[in-house]
Amino acid sequence: MIKIRAVVLLCLCTISSCETKKEYIIDKTILGSFGAKHRDSYIDRIKLHKEGIVKDSTHISDYLSITESNIIMFAFGFMSREQTIPEAKIFQEKAYAMDSLNSRVQEMAGILHFMDSEWEASEKAFKKSLELNPENLQARHWYTLYLMALKRIDEGFAQSTIVHEMDKTGDFLVARASIFYFLEDFEKMKPLMYKSLDKDSLSPWTLDWLGMAYNGLEEHGDALETYFKSFNLSDGTVEVGGGLGHALGEAGEYELAKEMADFYDEASKTKYLPACQRAFIHLGIGENDKAMSLLEQAYEEKSWFLQFMQIEHWYDQIRNTERFKILENKMNFPKQNVF
């Protein structure tokens, strides 16, 4: 009787697992959009501020908005460095000429130096920005990212804590979670993301970070559900797609992850797609050589995501390979903790 009952329970459990296994489908239209809706919103913003400058060239905020919009488009992989950063630098320099003691002007300088691996100049600009306005939380978060990227973990976490304590509106909850991500403390990310979603339940970027938290905890069902929602809301932004593909691979959904990787590989022949994000998918399905080739391509394209290669745990499976070490050395990260 006990054996029969055990067999029955086993059968019921098997049937239940079959019934609850979810079939995932990638929307090809969204996959091929590459985040066009979000990209176009920044293009429109740039156009608006350029028109504003034509009407009245004395507003420094127009120059800063054009600079920042170009930085964001590059950071999210909507457009290449060549399509964005040169213009960002032009308008930042114009803003600097107007008021070099503006905290936001110094912040933009710090970001651009950071993206160019100009480590000392970047830190100098961030510190100047915060000296001019200690309450510039955006600048303080960027400085936090800079410190984390250089493995100055204690300093970075201290800056993040200041941001978190000064953030009265909840606008920097994702920023705080990103630091816990780099610390691989994924459980602490979740309540921050839940709180952020209470403010905006349809934010693709918040959902993206929540998906990373679930993935880090190997809560694959929640990770995929969250990532798919993020990917759809992001209109197929490749920055999110790379995370989705990586999570699919780690969840055992090899065919779907491979489908995304192959689609991006073909599309990249005629369109700029950020190589680092594509590499994440190949790492998720164990194609380490292909991932490494993409990271080497990312270096040639001066991808800003490589700034985090010392602390991004998704690289751990290739971190000790000769090719990765060579690439890491090329980044010329500072050898000392403090300048």
The Cα 192–Cα 209 span in angstroms is 10
Can you tell me which residue has the tokens 């998720």? 284
Can you tell me which residue has the tokens 């080497």? 296
Mean pLDDT score of the chain, rounded to an integer? 95
The Cα 318–Cα 292 span in angstroms is 8
Average pLDDT over residues 82-95: 99
At 335 the pLDDT is 85
What region, left, alpha or beta, does residue 23 occupy, with left being phi > 0 and alpha being psi -120 to 50 degrees?
A: beta
Cα 189 to Cα 137, 238, 239, 259, 288: the distances in Å are 19, 22, 19, 29, 28
Specify the pTM. 0.92
The Cα 62–Cα 91 span in angstroms is 9
Give 258's pLDDT tier (boundaries 50, 70, 90). very high
**Listed range (19-23, 34-38, 176-180, 220-224) with the worst mean pLDDT:** 19-23
**Closest alpha carbon to 331 in 137, 168, 106, 116:** 116
Residues 111-137 have pLDDT tens digits of 999 999 999 999 999 999 999 999 999
- Yes or no: say if 218 and 19 are a contact pair by the CB < 8 Å rule: no
DSSP for residue 316: G
At 151 the pLDDT is 98
**Token digits of residue 260:** 């995304």
- Yes or no: say if 164 and 192 are a contact pair by the CB < 8 Å rule: no
Percent of the chain with pLDDT over 90: 92
Average pLDDT over residues 158-174: 99
Which residues 6+ apart lie within 8 Å of 177 measured at CB? Answer: 188, 189, 192, 193, 196, 209, 213
Residues 282-337 have pLDDT tens digits of 999 999 999 999 999 999 999 999 999 999 999 999 999 999 999 999 999 998 65
The Cα 313–Cα 188 span in angstroms is 17
The Cα angle at residue 304 between residues 299 and 309, in degrees rounded to 5: 75
**Closest alpha carbon to 224 in 257, 195, 196:** 257
At 17 the pLDDT is 43
Q: At residue 338, does pLDDT exceed 60?
A: no
Residue type, 197: L
Q: At residue 8, does pLDDT exceed 60?
A: no
Which residues 6+ apart lie within 8 Å of 13 measured at CB? Answer: none
